Amino acid sequence: MPDTQPQRLPLMVLTSNRGETATKDSRLVNGYVEVMENKELWIYKRPGLSQHLNIAGTSPGGLYSWKGDLYSVVGSTLYKETTAISGTLNTAGGSYTFSSTLGATPKLFLSNTQKGYVYDTSGGLVEITDADFPSGNLVPGSVYLDGTTYVMDVNANIYGSDINNPLSWNPLNKLVAQIEPDGGVCLAKQLVYVVAFKQWSTEVFYDAGNPTGSPLGTVQGAKVNVGCRSAASVRDVEGTLLWVAQARDGGTSVWLMDSLKATQVSTPAIDRLLQQADYSVVYSWAVRIVGHKFYGVTLANSNLTLVYDLTSGVWYQWADASGNYLPINHSTFSSTQQPLVQSAATGKIYKFALTNTNDDGTVFPMDLYTPNVDFGTRMRKYLKNLDIIADQAAGSSLFIRVSDDDYQTWSNFRQVDLGQSRPRLTDCGTFRRRAHHLRHFANTPLRIQAVEAWVDLGSL
């Protein structure tokens, strides 16, 4: 390595925790990666959250866009935009999932693990009281396919409604997802198929047009030998299903199903974080924004939000302004196709947007932790300068600190003004091996391409 030549720090960081906590090793928090056509790499600060609707209340429990309007559940009330719909929803069964029907009078169907309801503008909100509907025994999720609404119970029985009428259920329209003898966890849809997530396995069904009993038939060869760890982790991203999976051997990972092909997308480092996490409170969401498709899953009692970028295939951590998990849940879109999410604590509904450089008025930091670097030698080195190659923005600063003892202790932060034409940090000390922590904490956008280290070799 020639003396006094710039060496670029590795900014294409992958979450690479060596253990089951995210406090060591390289990671990107509140950012995302974009690779340009010329292979140049850019790191962006994540989009912020701005308030779209504020519905007063607690215990938010569902979000859905239907016929150009936004429907949400807050407490025991269903809202159309900000207008409360008459009727009281069950709250003991947790969050609600939605689907809809066609027919002469299109209907909105919503259910939690205890109850199901149907809403239309003429009939209002009506609880399903048909004795053949499995109230009190449901798993999250419902599917509308060829006029029939399907739900599943904890014993993996799949029930079908009458055509375009989820208030009426035929006792013969039932089958069991029984390739494996495990219980039901969640029901979802992929293309024209019904996907039954169970504890240790996943089964797929299609509309076989059976004249009696359930219209559904098993898709042979589509079974997946992993199940679902938490129904709350299941999300549809433009027809692609993602979920936190579990296997009988105890492994926990994130899987993706696209065109009925299921593959694991979590890395060994992500699996280590998932393995010992607390799944008593799980949130998830999915949005398409800034040209990327993101799937986020939060393990609230483990204080962790993991985000998978389907566009780049990279995992990140996203957090709130205090460094805790990102408290959002459920996702849909507005009438203008803007991605929306629901607060996990209040009735507020937020819009993700790149132009938002804060979360509802509160600035959040973007943190990038590099791997340990020694520039190809364990000889002592003197770091003369760090040049920051980033977009120039007035009022924007980057704070940098270093660890020379494998992430155990850190130096004090030093500030670099990104409003300058050539942002630079000088006289950065000596080291053998060093990790860098870059923090952006300003109410401005950030796009950073590289950090160039000017290194002089020292003695052994």
CATH 2.60.120 intervals, the chain: 5-30+366-457
Strands 430-431 and 424-426: unpaired
Each residue's pLDDT tens digit, 431-448: 999 999 999 999 999 999
Can you give the pLDDT at residue 459? 57
Each residue's pLDDT tens digit, 297-352: 999 999 999 999 999 999 999 999 999 999 999 999 998 889 999 999 998 999 99
3-state secondary structure the chain: CCCCEEEECCCCCCCCCCCCCCCCCCEEECEEEEECCCCCEEEEECCEEEEEEEEEEECEEEEEEECCEEEEEECCEEEECCEECCCCCCCCCCCCEEEECCCCCCCEEEECCCCEEEEECCCEEEECCCCCCCCCCECCCCEEECCEEEEEECCCEEEEEECCEEEEEEEEEEEECCCCCCCEEEEEEECCEEEEEECCCEEEEEECCCCCCCCEEECCCCCECCEECCHHHCEEECCEEEEEEECCCCCEEEEEEECCEEEECCCHHHHHHHHCCCCCCEEEEEEEECCEEEEEEEEHHHCEEEEEECCCCEEEECECCCCCECCEEEEEECCCCCEEEEECCEEEEEEEECCCCCECCECCCEEEECCCECCCCCCCEEEEEEEEEECCCCCCEEEEEEECCCCCCCCCCEEEECCCCCCEEECCCEECCEEEEEEECCCCCCEEEEEEEEEEECCC
Euclidean distance between CA atoms 391 and 166, whole angstroms = 54
Can you give the pLDDT at residue 460? 55
CATH of 5-30+366-457, one of 2.60.120, 2.160.20, 3.40.50, 3.40.1350: 2.60.120
Can you give the pLDDT at residue 270? 95
Q: Phi, psi (5° rounding) for residue 302?
A: -105, 5
Contact 116, 126 (CB under 8 A): no
Chain position carrying tokens 């119970």: 153
Q: Which residues of 157-168 are buried (b: 16+ CB within 10 A; e: fewer)?
A: bbbbbeebbbbe
* C-alpha separations of 283 from 15, 130, 187, 257, 259 in Å: 20, 31, 17, 19, 25
Can you give the pLDDT at residue 2? 47
Euclidean distance between CA atoms 115 and 133, whole angstroms = 9
* Tokens representing residue 349 in the block: 């509904």
Euclidean distance between CA atoms 244 and 295, whole angstroms = 11
Question: Looking at residues 291-296, what average pLDDT do you find?
Answer: 96
Each residue's pLDDT tens digit, 201-220: 999 999 999 999 999 999 98
Each residue's pLDDT tens digit, 127-177: 999 999 999 999 999 999 999 999 999 999 999 999 999 999 999 999 999
* Nearest Cα residue to 108 out of 140, 144, 84: 144
CATH 2.130.10.10 intervals, the chain: 48-353
Question: Looking at residues 182-204, what average pLDDT do you find?
Answer: 98
Percent of the chain with pLDDT over 70: 99
Q: Phi, psi (5° rounding) for residue 233?
A: -90, -10
* Tokens representing residue 166 in the block: 């989820």
Can you give the pLDDT at residue 102? 97
Contact 211, 170 (CB under 8 A): no
Q: Phi, psi (5° rounding) for residue 319?
A: -150, 170
Strand partners, 256: 242, 263
Confidence at 411, pLDDT banded by 50, 70, 90: very high
Question: Looking at residues 41-45, what average pLDDT do you find?
Answer: 94
Contact 333, 350 (CB under 8 A): no
CATH class of 48-353: mainly beta
Question: Looking at residues 31-41, what average pLDDT do you find?
Answer: 85
* Tokens representing residue 280 in the block: 């008593």
